[in-house]
Amino acid sequence: MSSELYDCVKRTLNRYFRDLDGQAPHAVYHMVLECVERSMLEVVMKQADGNQSAAADILGINRNTLRRKLTEHDLL
């Protein structure tokens, strides 16, 4: 695991909770996964020059799974 990525996520979550200013957090798990997944897909697709097969290989997932995730995030 990348300690730099881990630290970045941890700092961002701590800032998120601090900035709530008394409001109750809601659906944090879904929010984090959606943000991380979308940004990861965008960066990997750019690294793969838009080639879905190459991006799927980089991610270690099936190309059909990648296409579904790209569709879910409106990235197609």
pLDDT of 44-72, one tens digit each?
999 999 999 999 999 999 999 999 999 99
pTM of the model: 0.84
Q: Are 44 and 59 in contact (CB under 8 A)?
A: yes
Cα radius of gyration (the chain) = 15
CA distances from 68 to 16, 24, 54 (A): 29, 32, 16
pLDDT in tens, 3-60: 999 999 999 999 999 999 989 999 999 999 999 999 999 999 999 999 999 999 999 9
Torsion sign (Cα): 12, 8, 54, 64:
negative
CATH of domain 3-72: 1.10.10.60
Nearest alpha-carbon partner for 61 in 44, 75, 49, 46? 44
